[in-house]
Structure 1
Amino acid sequence: MALILFAARRLFYAAILVIGVLVLSFLLIRLAPGDPVDTLAGQMGGMTEEIRAGLRSEYGLDQPTLVQLGIYLERFASGNLGYSYFFNLPVLSLILQRLPATLLLVLTALVVAVLSGTTLGVLASRRPNGLLSQFITVVSVIGYSAPVFWTGMLLIILFASVIPILPVSGMTAAAVSGGWLLDSVDVAHHLVLPAVSLAVVYLAQYSRLTRASMLDVLGSDYVRTARAKGLEERKVFFKHAFRNAMLPIITIVGLQFGNLLAGAIVVETVFNWPGLGRLAFDSVLRRDYPTLLGLLFFSSLLVIVANQLVDVCYRLADPRIKAS
């Protein structure tokens, strides 16, 4: 019963948070300069005032902002995210088409960053004053300092001109169509550079955090006690120290998931990856309000789900939280 009440309370808070995100996003988008009808008029080479007024009436842009907000929330409650001004498609179907590509990119980058960063941090903590530790520290600082778009552009230059062995644009090759196996290999081939570009910054963060957390745990009393009992160093290092040192990493994974989605917007734009980030970039340029609001809703939903999963992992990693 306690677990059910806990889950219900978290779902209630999550619902309030999503509604708050939608309301705030709606108001901020309306306050931003620009108008969807003016953008459409510019792309069409101009339109008459009658057509402009008709479009504003059709889109509901001639209503006061609070009235528009009420209409949008009413439609949202019924599962209707609106209709895209530019793509001329329902926002929900448009997002669902792009969502798998973004999830593939973000989750791949997250796995690469966590596994690689944790491994490098553990290696650096074993001999904190050694050459390997210093080398990992320097590499981590460089990776953390490099902007995502700069890393992506360098990879494009490297693998488009110097070593042309990896594709630098898109998600699939138009000429490839040989069954699910070849298609999967083709997608994985295109995924390498975007995933690496997105993972580098977070890999450096996890590496530094793991090193600091491991050094802190290795200096604790219970680790010294375990060594005094004569336990093997490998067992002390991995069973006693590493498990406790992973708790801050799990926390940061949840906190950084939103930043990872934000970084995906830049990476998808640089590599022309057909995901939500690229859709968000196009929607901002074209003042496509319904699509932007739908993207913000799904992004907040993904972040909330990620944080819930992190809570579950935290309870599994630390029995004290599970007991409480």
Structure 2
Amino acid sequence: MSALSRLGRTLRHTVVLAIPTVIGIVVLNFLLLQLTPGDAADVLAGEAGAATAETMAALRSRFGLDLPVLQQLQAYLGHLSQFSLGFSPRYNMPVLALIGQRLPSTLALMGLALTIALALGIALGAVMASFAGRLPDRLLSVLALLFYSVPGFWVGLMLIVVFSVHLGWLPSGGAGRIGSDLTGLAAWLDQLRYMVLPATSLALFFVAIYARLTRAAMLEVQSQDFVRTAAAKGIAPWRVTVQHVLRNALLPVTTMAGMHLGGLLGGAVVVETVYSWPGLGRLAFEAVLSRDFNVLMGVLFLSSLLVILANMLVDLLHAWLDPRIEVH
């Protein structure tokens, strides 16, 4: 079977499995949110200071909150079939348009955080495996354990104190300078300055995981016959490490990275709140406080799609990295 046909078969298999998974996630999320006390009408009435029973009934009727649960679920699935995520009572705009405003910021933050986590984690893991049992391995293991143990919000606050308050190198929050007229590369670099601290805060926890996983995988691969054969042929040690050991050790790392995409989005709730980053994580937090379940459902639905898409990409990457892997 050629590489292209193998990749196509893997893609078809993952797409077929993704459809019922998405439907199940939507139904489960909807039913679980119905157990939450209060709704958007209660929050709107509380912000207004007071509301009569007639006003509350009118609000619930306007947003469909007075319908039975199954009818609300049917209406929501009907909206999804028309590529609509409903309407936000809190923001008074379509949910899809609201998420579309926040999605690029979150994708940029998650992309930079995942890049930092993979680059540092794989590099540290490779060094740890090369010096297994010696002082560099032990020091880096302690550092990885520190990254893994410290809460993300504390890391974020400490980074602000060090790099923003004391050193003044990076901004402490926001997504760009207010009133800035920068365009092109200058605007991109300006936004990157605002992304460094939140992306680093989000990435450090996963750096520890990828470093330990890379170390364990490389030590396991190093003991296999094909690595000893490559070394016996006189291939340079760095080529053996990169082309034979590290390439095969990347399989469990990429699998874990795909699984962690949902964790990155969950961690973004805290990080975006600490750094006032206008992304989906902060939007989900605000939706919970305002009981805007349409927005929260939209964020959860999109998060599920992102995780499934990441797993599809991981399956394709595995099929490319190891031709022995086939999906039946």
Which TM class, normalised by the smaller chain length? Answer: over 0.9
Aligned-pair CA distance for 1:232: 2.4
- The 3-state SS of whatever aligns with 2:87 is coil
Aligned pair count reads: 324
* Residue number in structure 2 paired with 1:224: 228
Tell me the equivalent position of 1:201: 205
For residues 217 and 194 of structure 2, the distance between their equivalents in structure 1, rounded to whole angstroms, comes to 35
CA positional deviation for 1:155? 1.1
- 287, 295, 302: which is aligned to 1:283? 287
Asked whether 1:68 is paired with 2:72, we answer yes
Change (3 A) 1:223 1:7: closer
Provide, for residues 178-232 of structure 1, a one-character-per-residue CA deviation record: whole Å limited to 9, x for no partner. 2222211110010010000001000111111111111111122222232233332
Q: 1:159 to 1:229 in 2, by over 3 A?
A: closer
Give the 3 Å change call, closer, same or farther, for CA 224–12 of structure 1 in structure 2: closer
Name the structure 2 match of 1:35. Answer: 39
- 1:323: Cα distance to partner? 9.7
Runs (4+) off by over 3 Å? 1-9
Which runs of 5 or more residues in structure 2 are unaligned?
none
Q: Does 1:247 align with 2:263?
A: no
Q: Aligned with 1:172: secondary structure?
A: coil
Relative to 1, partners in 2 of residues 1:152 and 1:79: Cα closer, same or farther, differing over 3 Å? same
Matched-pair identity in %: 46
Q: Which amino acid aligns with 2:148?
A: Y
Q: 1:180 to 1:4 in 2, by over 3 A?
A: closer
Counterpart residue type for residue 47 of structure 2: Q
> What TM-score comes out, normalization by structure 2 length?
0.94
Aligned to 1:49: 53
Q: Is the 8 A contact 1:84 1:91 kept in 2?
A: yes
Larger relative contact order, structure 1 or 2 (CA cutoff 8 Å, min sep 6): 2
Computed over aligned residues only, the root mean square deviation of the Cα atoms, in angstroms, reads 1.7
The answer on whether the counterparts of 2:10 and 2:316 sit within 8 Å (CA) in structure 1 is no
* Contact 2:10-2:315 within 8 A present in 1 as well: no
| Separation (CA, whole Å) in 1 of partners of 2:29 and 2:327 | 39
1:18 and 2:12 correspond: no
Q: Distance in 2 between matches of 1:300 and 1:94?
A: 18
Larger displacement relative to structure 2 (191-200 or 120-129):
120-129
Asked if the contact 2:9/2:327 (under 8 Å) is kept, the reply is no
Alpha-carbon separation, structure 2, partners of 1:179 and 1:70: 45
- Distance in 1, Cα, partners of 2:323 & 2:8: 19
Aligned counterpart, 2:297: 293
Counterpart for residue 97 of structure 2: 93
TM-score, with structure 1 as normaliser: 0.95
Structure 1 residues 217 and 301, CA, compared in 2 at 3 Å: closer, same or farther?
Answer: same
* Residues 1:174 and 2:166 are matched in the alignment: no
